[in-house]
Amino acid sequence: MSAVVARVASKVCTILEMIKFEHTIFAMPFALTSMMLAAGGMPKLPVFGWIIAAMVGARSAAMAFNRIVDAHLDKLNPRTAERAIPVGAVKIAEAWLFTLVAVGMFLFAAWSLNPLAFMLSPVALLVILGYSYTKRFTSLSHLVLGLALGIAPVGAWIAVTGRLDFAPMILSAAVIFWTAGFDIIYALQDLEFDSEMGLFSIPKALGPARGLLVSRAFHLCTALLLAWYGITLHLGALYYAGVLFAACLMAYEQNLVKPGDFSKVNMAFFNTNGLVSIGFFLFALADLLVRKA
């Protein structure tokens, strides 16, 4: 029995590494910000727990499904050829089982929260799973990925309040442009491969230099939308310090990558963006605590 448990645990760890489970941190802080502002503090523990479960389930399902859909492309792309499915470390059937469990976790969490959250959960699934196909027919796939992550703040607000309001839509729009901006940067690595395989991206459509200009415009929109969100909810000075912090990090991220030099793409993508979301959340939390004191 212990050997079976060890094998299962090892397989789960491999799958979690395959879907980069640690990158759940990208969207989670924005959802938590929305949750706390909707609740005026910490919501009841069950609500908090189901929000976390819904986030983890949705993101895990989306990533595992993406690895399934892109398995044949990953095998051909030198950058992704060593991923778990192409090398046989995870079988397609195992990835499907994990995806279905994650979808079930998300749906159950939504059902446990409130009727509106559950009613809208299939729509969320359609977006987060459907993204995986978009690069096959549109250069705007970056914005669809942004929408997949941008659902989180609206979902967290609905989870707390049971209704859909305008304010969380502003934060979701900020997340959409933030995600699309950094995904354009990430896509620079696959320009040659995308051209060979007939895949679509903004850098492929416009070229690296113009693609980066679009990315910068998207990140400028992010900063403006975060400021608008603060104005809408009448937030305080610490919140706006968080907006400035995020804006500076996005500017730094943009400075790391240039049209002829993609060597720092991974640093820009993985390191900086985690700091953007976590830092923004901490400033928003500090602002809430100060205003409640």
Q: pLDDT at residue 293 above 90?
A: no
Question: Does residue 268 have a pLDDT over 70?
Answer: no
Task: Report d(CA 99, CA 184) in Å as an integer.
Answer: 26
Percent of the chain with pLDDT over 70: 98
Q: Does the global pTM surpass 0.85?
A: yes
Nearest to 288 by CA among 232, 245, 233: 233
pLDDT at 25: 72
Domain hosting residue 150, numbered range: 2-292
How many domains, in total, are found in the chain?
A: 1
Task: Please write the tens of the pLDDT for every residue from 192-227.
Answer: 999 999 999 999 999 999 999 999 999 999 999 999
Cα 184 to Cα 287: distance, rounded to the nearest angstrom: 32
Query: How distant, in Å, are the alpha carbons of 96, 143, 156 from that of 110?
Result: 21, 24, 10
C-alpha 99/C-alpha 84 separation (Å) is: 15
pLDDT tens profile 239-261: 999 999 999 999 999 988 887 77
Q: What is the CATH number of the domain that holds 74?
A: 1.10.357.140
Place of tokens 């705007």: 140
Neighbours of 189 (CB within 10 A): 17
Task: With a cut of 80, say whether residue 264 has pLDDT above it.
Answer: no
